[in-house]
């Protein structure tokens, strides 16, 4: 059984049909996007304990968004629902025709969190952004929502992401959310930077093994694509699922062309590592050996109970 220190309660809320269960199924249950369209609505609460990086366990509460359930959460079940929360993730459907009501329910949710879990981190996902075809319109809507939600939540700080199950934005949002819960993250970042320099790599990225969410990364040279890690998460997770269909287990891969080489390999018992190099003199075999030597040390960091 997970200790109270390692068990992190994550509340997933929003109106019915906003996409909460679909995104949870993609991130934590290895669903592809299309099959989630057949998922039914959540009735009351779906509880799920997800082991994440050694001692960390995410206690996910996927809360049904139908009016009757929301009313119960804010009244008769208020203390049970909102006590002991570490992270609140509130999902807004851009296709909703009840914007005023959505905001009123969010206000009720914030009031409960402020009273019963004042230290909880709050994230808002402006979801189904794929329904807005023009990128400028997406950015405009996102900024409008950020301003509106910041005003509602003030003085509490919150973080707002745009998301869609059809692209890398879902992985970016959840990676940043989970990053806030990872123990020893500063030490992990520091040692990953040292490994990056030791390998002569341009960047090193650490992924959680089951979800392929980005846990940490280190770079020695800037890259133009700010969403590359999340794109890689999406691609490799799809590839892992394809391997599973043929009863094969994905362990590692190397990609090389005239401009770069990349190695993806199992690292610790809970992570994969990706090392990217543009220096043609660096051999993947040497990088593999450095990664192998570093495994046990990083295993200790990740499994440490220091918070």
Q: Comparing 171 with 245, which gets the higher pLDDT?
A: 171
pLDDT at residue 83 in the model:
96
pLDDT at residue 1 in the model:
45
Lowest mean pLDDT among 62-76, 209-223, 229-243: 229-243
pLDDT at residue 251 in the model:
84
Neighbour-count burial of 239, counting CB atoms closer than 10 A to its CB (0-12 exposed, 13-18 middle, 19+ buried): middle
Asked if the model's pLDDT at residue 147 lies above 90, the reply is yes
Mean pLDDT of 184-198: 91
Asked if the model's pLDDT at residue 2 lies above 60, the reply is no
Q: What percent of the chain has pLDDT over 70?
A: 97
pLDDT in tens, 20-61: 999 998 888 877 777 787 777 787 899 989 888 767 889 999
> Confidence band (pLDDT; 50, 70, 90) for 138?
very high
Mean pLDDT of 253-263: 91
Whether the upstream peptide bond of residue 155 has omega within 30° of 0, thus cis, is yes
pLDDT at residue 164 in the model:
93
Mean pLDDT of 206-211: 89
pLDDT at residue 307 in the model:
39
pLDDT at residue 52 in the model:
81
Mean pLDDT of 170-183: 88
pLDDT in tens, 90-135: 999 999 999 999 999 999 999 999 999 999 999 999 999 999 999 9
pTM: 0.86
pLDDT at residue 54 in the model:
66
Q: What percent of the chain has pLDDT over 90?
A: 57
Q: Comparing 291 with 304, which gets the higher pLDDT?
A: 291
């Amino acid at each position: 059984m997970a200790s109270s220190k390692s068990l992190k309660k994550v509340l997933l809320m929003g109106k019915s049909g906003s996409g909460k269960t679909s995104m949870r199924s993609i991130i934590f249950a290895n669903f592809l996007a299309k099959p989630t369209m057949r998922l039914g609505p959540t009735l009351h609460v779906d509880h799920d304990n997800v082991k994440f990086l050694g001692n960390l366990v995410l206690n996910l509460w996927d809360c049904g968004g139908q009016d009757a359930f929301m009313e119960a959460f804010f009244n008769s079940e208020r203390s049970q629902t909102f006590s002991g929360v570490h992270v609140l993730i509130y999902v807004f459907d851009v296709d909703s025709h009840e914007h005023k009501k959505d905001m009123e329910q969010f206000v009720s949710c914030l009031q409960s969190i402020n009273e019963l879990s004042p230290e909880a981190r709050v994230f808002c996902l402006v979801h189904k952004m794929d329904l807005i075809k023009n990128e400028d319109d997406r950015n405009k809507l996102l900024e409008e929502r950020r301003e509106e939600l910041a005003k509602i939540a003030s003085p509490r700080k919150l973080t707002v992401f745009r998301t869609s199950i059809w692209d890398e934005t879902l992985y970016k949002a959840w990676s940043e959310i989970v990053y806030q819960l990872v123990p020893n993250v500063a030490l992990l970042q520091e040692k990953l930077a040292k490994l990056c320099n030791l390998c002569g790599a341009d960047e090193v990225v650490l992924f959680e093994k089951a979800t392929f969410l980005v846990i940490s990364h280190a770079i020695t040279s800037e890259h133009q694509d700010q969403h590359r890690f999340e794109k890689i998460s999406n691609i490799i997770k799809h590839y892992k699922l394809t391997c599973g269909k043929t009863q094969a287990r994905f362990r590692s891969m190397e990609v090389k062309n005239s401009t770069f080489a990349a190695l993806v390999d199992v690292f610790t018992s809970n992570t994969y590592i990706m090392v990217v190099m543009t220096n043609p003199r660096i051999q993947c075999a040497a990088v593999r050996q450095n990664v192998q030597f570093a495994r046990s040390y990083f295993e200790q960091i990740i499994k440490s109970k220091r918070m």
